[in-house]
Amino acid sequence: MKTLEKLKDLLVSSEQIQLAGISQFLPLDIGKIKKNLRLDEKAKENGSKQLPSSDSDDFDEVESAIINFIETERARCLNEFNDHLTTYNQRLANLNIEARLTEVTLAAKKAIGDFKEQIHQGQDDLVISRDDLEEHASQFKNFRLENNLTRPAHYPRSKLFRLGIIALLFIAECIFNAFFLAVGNEFGLLGGAGEAFIISLVNIGIALFFGQKIVPFIWHKNISQKLLGNVLISIFFAANFVFNIFVAHYRDALANEMSDQAAILAVSSFMADIFNIADFKSWMMVGVGCFFAIIALIDGFGMDDPYPKYGHWDRLRRRAYETYADKKANLLEDLKHTRDIASTGLAQLKDDLVKRRQEHDSIIANRTNLLMNFEAHQNHLESCGHELITFYRARNREARNTSPPKHFDRAWHLERRISPVFPAPILSDERLNEVMTEASSTIQSAIKDVMDAFDRAINMIEQINAILSPKETNHVST
């Protein structure tokens, strides 16, 4: 849905704001370093050789190895420090709270605009459906007035039962006629079944048509229509009786030795004497055919209201009611869904800004801690280097016979090398508070606009519904 696209995009882009904290610098293992550099062994070996000489003023190779190890470790930690600092600065840049406020503001305006557009479109569709309902209701009302009808239309809501009766009648007549017509048919029962199918189709089909379309005119208010209906029904009964008499003549002709000319013989016999039917079974066919036709006629008549076209106009009106009610219900459901998603999405965007503010403060604090930890780690490295050199010198003194060089009495210090550069701009707390206040106000206003638009939409739907007559309104409400 267009109303929610921008909100969803913004929410998806905010899912990975929070990042894990950066690990601290690990302390050195003095014992392991002593072992790896073989300080005790080398101190005793050099001391026994009176190395470094008493007049030496430079670090010997062991001291230099210790210093190089410490400085190498400090360089590695400095690189790690700079990498961590870059990560924090990048995270600050990615938060971009002020730009995020602009995005949230635009998304809120778009959500409101799209929601209102959805309301207007739904209103237009509902008005069209209401106008169609009014037109059908007016036509139905005029039909009732013109035909002096005060009762409601009566007809089965489902024709399945009636159609089932017709199907049973058709099958029964086919089976019944198939056995009677199999006499003399060169294809036997199969041939009789084929002819029975055609006869039953004509007999039942015409009766069904007259029952649905002609019989209701007997109750028509118009005298001429009523008269025409009675005449046509009388013609139907006469025609149906004649048709079944002819079928009986045809059945008699099949029993004749000249069964291959049964149709010609049936016509001749029928024209000569319509009631000259020799076989009693043929008379049974007449009775069965007429009986099934009458049942089909009655069943067809029962498929709709007794008054001509009354059921038709009532169904059109009911379908218009149902269409209007469905559109109204669907519109309300869609608007509720959009309202809930939009308001929830806006509230989540507000939470997103709060999380960004918290992340911003956390990054600033972590970045400050990073610098403090690195400075502390440099002190730790200096302390480790001092301890290693002191250990080496002490063991060297113990192994010497001559005086140690004077620089053994000077403490070693690690030259500080840090780059605490904070290139990313940092919003002041005052500006951050302004941004958060503005964001909260913008989002709350947007949520209120969405709720107000929904309330106006409900009122609009009620006004559209109120235009209908009380009877129609009650029907739609139910």
Quick one: pLDDT at residue 395? 93
d(CA 330, CA 320): 15
Quick one: pLDDT at residue 228? 92
Per-residue DSSP letter, 221? S
Question: Residues near 136 by Cβ (< 8 Å), separated by ≥ 6?
Answer: 313, 316, 317, 319, 320
User: HSE (CB half, 13 Å, CA atoms) of 268?
Assistant: 7
Model-level pTM greater than 0.75?
no
Residue pair 439/353 in contact (Cβ under 8 Å)? The answer is yes
List of the chain residues with pLDDT < 50: 1, 15-20, 424, 470, 473-478
Quick one: pLDDT at residue 419? 55
- Where along the chain do its domains lie? 2-9+26-114+321-477, 160-303
Place of tokens 């008549």: 301
Q: What is the DSSP string of 110-177?
A: HHHHHHHHHHHHHHHHHHHHHHHHHHHHHHHHHHHHHTT--SPP---S--HHHHHHHHHHHHHHHHHH
Q: What is the CA radius of gyration of the chain?
A: 51
d(CA 271, CA 280): 20
Q: What is the DSSP string of 265-278?
A: HHHHHHHH-TT---
d(CA 126, CA 320): 12
Residues 16-59 pLDDT 10s? 444 445 557 889 999 999 999 999 999 999 999 999 999 998 89
d(CA 359, CA 356): 5
Quick one: pLDDT at residue 14? 53
Quick one: pLDDT at residue 285? 81
